[in-house]
Amino acid sequence: MNAPLAPTPELALLLMREAFDRQRTAFAQEINPSREVRLERLARLSAMTERIAPAIERAISEDFSHRSVHVTRLADVMMVQTAIRHARRHLKEWMKVRRAPTSVAFMPGYNRVMPQPLGVVGVVSPWNYPYQLAMGPTIAAIGAGNRVMIKPSELTPRLSELMREAIAADFSPEEITVITGGADVGTAFVSLPFDHLLFTGSTGVGRQVAIAAAANLTPVTLELGGKSPAIVNPDADLEEVAPRLAMGKLFNSGQTCIAPDYVAVQRHGVDAFVGAMRRAVQKQYPSIAANPDYTAIISERHLARLQALLDDAESRGALIVPLHPEGLARAPGSRKLAPTLVLNATEQMRIMQEEIFGPLLPVMAYERLDEAIAYVNRHERPLALYWFGRNAADRDRVLARTISGGVTVNDCMWHFGQEELPFGGVGASGMGAYHGAYGFRTFSKDKPVFHQSRFAGTRLMFPPYGRTFDRMAGLLKRIT
């Protein structure tokens, strides 16, 4: 496929205004789509995903210069299909109007909660899992009965164009539409008066998106990034830890929002940890440059950024330890960066200040576990936290004393794959959540409805106020 031409920002703005108005009008004509309509839309999205899966693998790989097809298959295709299956299976239960308890003072009246769609939802997505992070929120939004406009990343132009074409072929623009373009298009996109906006991307851009959304009082879900720590307990079995940590760090070459960003290891265990990581990495990736399983860095700019992080760390006294015999040498033109540990990492180094988003893993040595906990708490709330070990009391101490978007115990990243768990950050790593029922709720208004009874006791509180009112107020005080 040739690299597609992006529309000019003016044209994109015009198109997105028109698309937005069409979706609003269509929503007004079908405020509460039936379950059958929603199920059919989800089934159509699933069939589309199945049909274009090979093209998704090709497009993403070309956009990255090389991306493992297995990574795409698992993280972009399978995860989308799983989310659709889960939503289709549970839609009936999620859509149900629920009875809620009623205080005795209001009986025989009764309460119900009625989930309703919000209207037109905007989804802004990043490049790292470009299909999944556009479609995951879309699945939740259409399951909840909304219309969706998607603005995918400009850094994966082939995948974005493929998605635009496929959606345009299989969905009416009133149902789902894709608007492609760069940051300028993104800026205009988030200025539309959406009924909800879900943004996945960096913390800096997320802040701008929240400001733009505030102008319209558009509620936002922000799925951001940050530095997710892995803490290795002194009693952890390193032969078990290392392969799991290597998988988490090197999947998509570390270009994952929930990748372990840095690892805290007890000081006297650092040498053993380095050895275990070397063995694990070399077993998972016998080679790097020629290995189709090993993914390249998305752009020259990101590659230069990662190299600068390494240079800065080295200049401030870090020890750079390549985990693979191929070392850090790169074939000309290749954007593959080899897995590398950064020992003696300190807070003064940029690599311990910025989200890494690459296959570099700083190791922070601690003496006592509480130091690692205190370190996490001194910094911005991470999107994920990983703890490895056996001692349940230590595990519970880490869980109770740290705040993060999510946690996997004794592994990395798998909490993301749980459709029954909410996924989202906290503080600088985001706000709000989606996945499964939580996504349905994010894109619904839970409308509370109180049904008054013909025999309502509240009529005893009508004015003119006097003895009856006082007696009722006294009674209410006792029974509520």
Residues that bind ligand NAD (CB under 6 A): 124-128, 133, 151-154, 182-183, 186-187, 190, 200-202, 205, 208-209, 223-225, 257, 355, 357, 383, 425, 430
Residue of 223, 326, 355, 419 marked catalytic? 223
Catalytic site residue 412? no
Q: Which is nearer to ligand NAD, 7 or 182 (CB)?
A: 182
CB 443 within 8 A of CB 140: yes
Residue of 57, 161, 257, 419 marked catalytic? 257
Which of these, 276, 289, 225, lies nearest to 246 by C-alpha position?
276
Looking only at the bridges linking them, the beta strands covering 229-232 and 384-388 are parallel
The CB-of-77 to ligand NAD minimum distance in angstroms stands at 16
Q: Which is nearer to ligand NAD, 84 or 257 (CB)?
A: 257
Q: Which residue is nearest to ligand NAD (CB)?
A: 225
**Residue 185 neighbours by CB under 8 Å, 6+ apart:** 6, 7, 9, 12, 13, 16, 151, 154, 179
What is the helix (H) or strand (E) element at residue 98, kind and residue range?
A: strand 98-100
CB 248 within 8 A of CB 359: no
The CB-of-155 to ligand NAD minimum distance in angstroms stands at 6
The CB-of-43 to ligand NAD minimum distance in angstroms stands at 25
Distance (Å, whole) CA 172 – CA 159 = 20
Q: Which is nearer to ligand NAD, 259 or 288 (CB)?
A: 259
Helix axes 157-170, 35-64, angle to 10 degrees: 150
CB 306 within 8 A of CB 356: yes
Which of these, 215, 196, 227, lies nearest to 432 by C-alpha position?
196
The CB-of-58 to ligand NAD minimum distance in angstroms stands at 20
Q: Which is nearer to ligand NAD, 46 or 153 (CB)?
A: 153
DSSP 5: P
Q: Which is nearer to ligand NAD, 115 or 122 (CB)?
A: 122
**Residue 164 neighbours by CB under 8 Å, 6+ apart:** 152, 178, 179, 180
**Residue 38 neighbours by CB under 8 Å, 6+ apart:** 91, 95, 142, 143, 145
DSSP 406: E
Backbone angles phi, psi at 409, to 5 degrees: -95, 130
Q: Which is nearer to ligand NAD, 185 or 369 (CB)?
A: 185
Q: Which is nearer to ligand NAD, 365 or 413 (CB)?
A: 413
The CB-of-257 to ligand NAD minimum distance in angstroms stands at 3
Distance (Å, whole) CA 288 – CA 60 = 19
Catalytic site residue 257? yes
The CB-of-148 to ligand NAD minimum distance in angstroms stands at 15
What are the beta bridge partners of residue 111?
100, 450
Q: Which is nearer to ligand NAD, 222 or 246 (CB)?
A: 222
List the structure tokens of 427: 């503080």
**Rounded to 5°, angle at Cα 82 from 358 and 281:** 30
List the structure tokens of 198: 């879900």
Distance (Å, whole) CA 130 – CA 423 = 17
The CB-of-260 to ligand NAD minimum distance in angstroms stands at 13
The CB-of-374 to ligand NAD minimum distance in angstroms stands at 24
Catalytic machinery residues:
223, 257
